[in-house]
Amino acid sequence: MDRAVALLTKRVRALGPKRRTGLRDHSPAGSRELGADVFTLMARRAVWEWLGDRCGECHGAIVGEIQDATHPLGGRLFCCIACGGTGRRRYPDAERAGALRLPVEVYRRNWARQFAAVLAMLDRFDGDTERRVRQQLAPVAQSKNVA
């Protein structure tokens, strides 16, 4: 886990080298001595959210169900409103800013997009893993079809 965070921190730092000014460390003085700059905090927070990011309403299923006895299927499905159909829990800016030890305005102005990019990056990792697993399973599935 710590290794994953360290790796991700590196990637986060590398995300926007062209806009150095927007990427300045806004941590309050002293937090550096604790060995956690805003990049590390962001990576840690992103991994934390990513690992436990299921929407509390639909639990990641993205669709919710309303029981409806008059409906032929006994209920109606709807896109989860709580997560907007992403299946992911939505965290308030204030909570994220707190995790990054930043004032909310600073977080919104300089870090919110970056944070979204980090989460998207983690999703891509996830997608790559899935693809690799599927590729490894493909020959097995094909041999079944032949037999």
Return the range that interacts with Zn ion (CB under 5 A); candidates 37-45, 72-80, 99-107, 114-122.
72-80
Return the number of the residue (67 or 145) whose C-beta is nearest Zn ion: 67
Return the range that interacts with Zn ion (CB under 5 A); candidates 25-33, 41-49, 58-66, 134-142.
58-66
C-alpha atoms less than 13 angstroms from C-alpha of 26 in its C-beta half-sphere: 20
Strand-pair partners of 78: 64
Tell me which of 5, 12, 23, 80 binds Zn ion, using CB under 5 A.
80
Using CB under 5 A as the binding rule, whether residue 89 contacts Zn ion is answered as no
Using CB under 5 A as the binding rule, whether residue 55 contacts Zn ion is answered as yes
Strand-pair partners of 88: 54
Return the range that interacts with Zn ion (CB under 5 A); candidates 75-83, 92-100, 114-122, 127-135.
75-83
Element (H, E) at 65: strand 63-67
Left, alpha or beta for 130 (phi > 0: left; psi -120 to 50: alpha)? alpha
Using CB under 5 A as the binding rule, whether residue 82 contacts Zn ion is answered as yes
Q: Shortest gap between Cβ of 58 and Zn ion (angstroms)?
A: 3
Q: Which residues of 73-88 are buried (b: 16+ CB within 10 A; e: fewer)?
A: eeeeeeebeebeeebb
Give the binding site for Zn ion (CB under 5 A): 55, 57-58, 80, 82-83
